Amino acid sequence: MNREAAEDCVEKAVKYLAEGKIEKAEKLLNKSISLHPTTRAEELLSKIKRGAYTENVSSGNTSDDGVRQRGTAKGSAPKAESGTEAEYTPEQLEAVKRIKKCKDYYEVLGVSKDATDSDIKKAYKKLALQLHPDKNHAPGAVEAFKAIGNAVAILTDAEKRKSYDLFGADEHHQPTTRRTRYQYDQYSRGFETEFTAEELFNMFFGAEIPTHHVYTRQRRFHRAEQQQYREPQSGFAAFINLLPIILLIALSMMSSFFISDPIYSLTPSQKFSVARKTNQLKIPYYVKDNFHSEYQGSVVRLEASVEEDYLNNLKHSCYRERNYKDTMLMKARNFGDRELYHKAQNINTPSCDKLQSLHN
C-alpha cells in the first residue's frame, strides 16, 4: 500500500539525516509525500529547507568515505540522531503501536464491553491528550487519533453501539492476510457521524489545546480533486459528458405519458378528495370521485397496500425524530449542559408514539 511505502521512505530519510546525507533524505521525503502525505514527512522536509540539518555532520569521528562513526564524549552516552529523537518519545510510539494492534473499539479505548459512557469518555480524554498529532509526532499518530475518535463516537451513541455489538466492523469481508491492516484502517477511517475527530476533541476539551495541522492532508486531497474537475473541457467532450443526463431526462418525460395516476393518496388533494379508512388499522386515505367505477381490483389488497405505505412513512419519520433527539442528547452530554440535556430529553417523537400505538 502507498501508506506503508511512504512510512518506509520516512524511516530511511531519518537514518540519512542522522548520517548527514541531507540530499538523499530530501529525495526520500519528497517521494514519501507523493505516495502518501504525512505530517511527519512534511515537518522533516520543512526543517531541511530551513537549514536545520547540515551535510555530513557527525557526533563523533568520520571515516574517509564520509560515513559517521558514533563517538562518545567524556563520560556521556552516544548522542541522539540530530533533530529526530526529540520528535516523539518511546511512550508515544508505543501508544500508537498499541492502537494498531487493537481488534475492536473497546480495545482501542482500553475499556470493557460493559463500560459506561462515563468510563468511555474518561478513557478517550486520556488517550486524546496522548495521541493528538499536535503533541505526538510518532508515525501513525494521526490515524491513531482518528481511531480513538471513531471509537468514542460509536460507543457513546446507544443505537450505534448496539449495532456495533451486533455486527462489529464487518472484518470477515476482508482476506485473512490483510486482517491486521484492515482493522486499523477500519478504526481510523472517516467518520460516519456528524462530527470529525478534531470536532469531537474540541467538544471534550474546548479551546484548551490549539490545533492546526491534523487534517492538512485531507484538505490537500480535496483541493487536488477540485482542481481536476475544474480543468477546461472541449465543447464535444462536455456534450458527451452531458449526454447520459439528457437521455435520462428525455426518457423520464416520455415515460410520464404512459404512467397512470395512482389509485389512492395518503394526503388529500383536489384530485384525491374522497376520504376513506382502512378496515383493519383505520388508516385514512383518499381516492378519486370515480373510484368505484375505475377500480375493479380487491379492496382488501388495496387497503393492505395503504397500511404498508403509511407504516413505512411513519417509520421513516420516527427514525428522523429519534436521530435528532439522540444527537441533541449527545451534544448536551459532551458539553456537560444539564439544562440542554433536560430539554433534549423532553423532545417529542410523535411519529414514534403513533407507531407504538398502532403496534399495540
340/169: higher pLDDT: 340
CATH fold for the domain made of 90-224: Helix Hairpins (1.10.287)
From residue 15, alpha-carbon distances to 10, 25, 91, 184, 357 in Å are: 9, 8, 21, 26, 69
**The pLDDT of residue 202:** 63
Q: 357 versus 70: which is more confidently predicted?
A: 357
pLDDT over 50 (residue 68) = no
What pLDDT score was predicted for residue 303? Answer: 92
Distance CA 54, CA 95 (A): 32
Strand partners, 285: 276
Cβ proximity of 263 and 295 under 8 Å: yes
Please write the tens of the pLDDT for every residue from 255-301.
Answer: 666 566 788 999 999 999 999 999 999 999 999 999 888 888 899 99
Give the distance, in angstroms, between the CA of residue 98 and the centroid of all CA atoms in the same chain: 21
> Which of the residue ranges 6-15, 39-48, 338-347 has the most confident prediction, judged by mean pLDDT?
338-347
Give the integer Cα–Cα distance in Å for 252 and 306: 26
Global pTM? 0.34
How far apart, in whole angstroms, are the C-alpha atoms of residue 30 and residue 85? 21
Residue type, 247: L
Q: What pLDDT shows up at residue 194? A: 52
Q: Where are the alpha helices (DSSP H) in the chain?
A: 2-19, 22-35, 39-49, 90-101, 105-109, 117-131, 141-155, 158-167, 179-188, 197-205, 216-230, 235-256, 291-294, 299-335, 338-345, 350-359
In terms of Cβ atoms closer than 10 Å to its own Cβ (0-12, 13-18, 19+), residue 9 is buried
**pLDDT tens digit string along 199-220?**
666 666 554 444 444 444 444 4
pLDDT value of position 274: 93
Q: How confident is the model at residue 351 (pLDDT cuts 50, 70, 90)?
A: very high
Mean pLDDT of the chain: 76
pLDDT digits (tens, 9 = 90+) for 316-330: 999 999 999 999 999
Q: Which three cell numbers stand for residue 72?
A: 562518545
Average of per-residue pLDDT across 304-311:
93
**Cell numbers given for 50:** 530551513
> If pLDDT is split at 50, 70 and 90, which confidence band does 353 have?
very high
The residue ranges of every structural domain in the chain are 1-56, 90-224, 265-359
Which pLDDT score, from 0 to 100, does residue 132 have? 85
| CA nearest neighbour of 196 among 230, 153, 159, 161 | 153
Confidence of residue 8 (pLDDT cuts 50, 70, 90): confident
DSSP three-state, residue 281: coil
pLDDT of res. 173: 38
pLDDT of residue 325: 92
pLDDT over 90, % of the chain? 22
What is the Cα–Cα distance from 244 to 241, expressed in whole angstroms? 7
